[in-house]
Amino acid sequence: MRRAMQTTPKSAGSSVRYGTYILVWLALIALTSLTVGVAGMNIGALTVVVALLIAAIKSSLVVNIFMHIKFEDMIFKVFLGIAGLILFIIYALTFADVFIRK
């Protein structure tokens, strides 16, 4: 009989401590509060830009820590970067369209 080769991912040994999860959770709460605070400010068109920057920081925390992408192979990071670049291009084209139509 053939035995199936068992492989474990390289990231299986990488574990994140509970303290890191708590710190990231507190950072997410603080960034959410900052987003609410920025939404209440009257800074014009910069409100959306600042909110998107805060959202990008929050999403990078979630992706790197909670989804364990920080410990994955480089190919996953490359594909995630390509997807992020495409999303950035879509946002940039949307903002350009809004500003051109004014």
Domain tally, the chain: 2
Q: Are 29 and 44 found together in one domain?
A: yes
pLDDT (tens digit, 0 to 9) for every residue of the chain, 102 residues total?
556 555 555 555 567 789 999 999 999 999 999 999 999 998 988 898 899 899 999 999 998 898 888 888 889 889 988 998 999 899 899 988 878 887
Residue 79 and residue 73: Cα distance in Å, rounded? 11
Q: Are 98 and 65 found together in one domain?
A: no
Q: Are 95 and 54 found together in one domain?
A: no
Give a yes or no: residue 8 inside a domain: no
Residue 28 and residue 63: Cα distance in Å, rounded? 12
How large is the angle between the packed helices 46-61 and 18-40, nearest 10 degrees? 170
Q: Are 65 and 82 found together in one domain?
A: no
